Structure 1
Amino acid sequence: MQIATTPVQEPPSEPTRDGLPPMPPGPPHEERHFAALSPMREVVAGAAQGLVLPFAVTAALAGLGTAPVPTILAGLAAAAGGAVAAGLGSAMAARDAAARYQLERAREEEESHLYPDRERWEVAAILHRYGVRGQVLRQAVEAIASDRRRWVDFMMRFELDLSEPDPGRAARSATILGGAQVLAGLLPVLPYMVAGPGAALGWSAAATFAALAALGGLRARSEDLPPLRGALQALAIGGLAAVAAWLLAATLG
């Protein structure tokens, strides 16, 4: 004789603070991608940029038979100048992005007051593209438009594709890019300080192109591209810059 058993019911999950149930099991919520490490990406980008100009300058001067001291000074000047330009450029770009975001946000807030029906229609149009229809669409639009800040946040993100900038990004990005660039710029110059004139160019080229390949691979990985492709691209850019500087110096010399 079999006794019927009733399946044990799991207790209902408690809702979270936002009214949603706990996240079901699955992949980690925060995926550990290299691309998520923005400061590291800036270090890689700054270092890759910082290698090219000092190497091109020192290689051109060494090819013309310039003495080691002027070659070293020119390489250091190129590294410092490139770092300052990169840092200031990054800071200005971050400042401009923040100013644009604030301008667009003020405009969206004004339009939500002056033209609420038009703004609601735009919310509905965005949700419609994602397959929301009928009563669910109307409820979603009213839920979003019921809170002014949430309404404007939605329009900034999904209509204008703008995210609120980090207030400290300008200074942080300038420091990271500039520091990485000037430190990387020392690598092509270092062989001229420790090696003889005949061997310095070879050691500088070997160190520079090895670093370029490594940085190019890391940068490609951060963008979900094949590392070998990134390494080859970085080597091609560095090689073209060195050849261009060499040809210019040879022509003028």
Structure 2
Amino acid sequence: MAENGYADLEKQVLLLNDHEEKHFMSSEIVRDIIIGVSDGLTVPFALAAGLSGADVSSSIILIAGIAEVAAGAISMGLGGYLAAKSEADHYMRELKREQDEIVAVPDIGLEKPDPMRALWSAMTIAISYIMGGLVPLLPYMVIPVATEAVLASVVLTLVALILFGLAKGYFTGNQPFKSAIQTAFIGAIASAAAYSIAKVFRA
């Protein structure tokens, strides 16, 4: 009877550990996607709006926007890689310190990070940034007049920000509607500021 109880307890521990690992990994992926898409939607959107305020052509805005998306994806991906690499390095330092302090180490309570985590983080953030960054630039690909393209870009990007905010709120456990409003508001403020600054310097 005692052996059965011990076996049941052992199964519950294994199931709990398995559940925590899946949850931990999925939360990291969601975090990377949120980082990539939120910046990818907002930064190129503000850049395109600012250049539209300076009365340049759609082709110039598109070239500048694509260059920004490429540079931003590389920069954000590299940042994600370095952050995950630092986490792995920190684990190794802590592991060595614990081993030096304790002679017998049955379980030191450290969770070993996935060795591929840094690479996956870099790729996830970079791809998410590119996907988000192309949204505000799409109108400039088909509308040659920048003053017309910027209106379509604003509408398209605000819709994308609202949908992204809803998804972010759902996956992070926050209020989806509140998250959608906050995300769209931040994007709108950023683009309005960039557009207004460009207009002021243009004048």
Q: TM-score, normalised by structure 1?
A: 0.68
How many residues in Structure 1 have an aligned counterpart in Structure 2?
A: 194
Q: 1:13 to 1:231 in 2, by over 3 A?
A: farther
Deviation at 1:41, TM superposition (A): 4.2
- Within 5 A, what are the aligned runs for 1:106-125? 106-113=96-103
Q: Does 2:3 match 1:55?
A: no
Contact 1:15 1:22 in 2 (8 A): no
Contact 2:40 2:129 in 1 (8 A): yes
Instruction: Say whether residues 1:211 and 2:163 are aligned partners.
Output: no
C-alpha deviation, 1:105, in angstroms: 1.4
Q: Offset at 1:186? A: 1.0
Q: C-alpha offsets along residues 9-55 of structure 1, whole Å, 9 cap, x if unaligned?
A: xxx597499673655xxxxx95998x945434422431121011111
**1:1-253 alignment runs, 5 A limit:** 15=4, 20=9, 30=19, 36=26, 38-113=28-103, 148-150=105-107, 152-153=108-109, 156=110, 163-197=111-145, 198-253=147-202
Tell me the C-alpha RMSD between the 2 structures. 2.7
What is the CA deviation profile of residues 116-166 of structure 1, one whole-angstrom value per residue up to 9, with x for unaligned ones? xxxxxxxxxxxxxxxxxxxxxxxxxxxxxxx6131x23xx4xxxxxx3211
Shift of 1:64: 2.0
Structure 2 distance, partners of 1:190, 1:16, is 61
Instruction: Tell me which residue corresponds to 1:3.
Output: none
* 1:63 CA displacement: 1.9
Structure 2 alignment gaps of length 5 or more: 13-17
Q: Percent identity?
A: 31
- Tell me, which stretches of 5 or more residues in structure 1 are unaligned? 1-11, 24-28, 114-146, 157-162
**Where has structure 1 moved over 2 Å in runs of 4 or more?**
12-23, 29-33, 35-45, 250-253
Distance apart, 1:89 and its partner CA:
0.4
Of stretches 39-48 and 205-214 in structure 1, the one that deviates more from structure 2 is: 39-48
Higher helix proportion, which one? 2
Asked if the contact 1:15/1:21 (under 8 Å) is kept, the reply is no
1:61 CA drift (Å): 1.1
TM-score (norm 2): 0.84
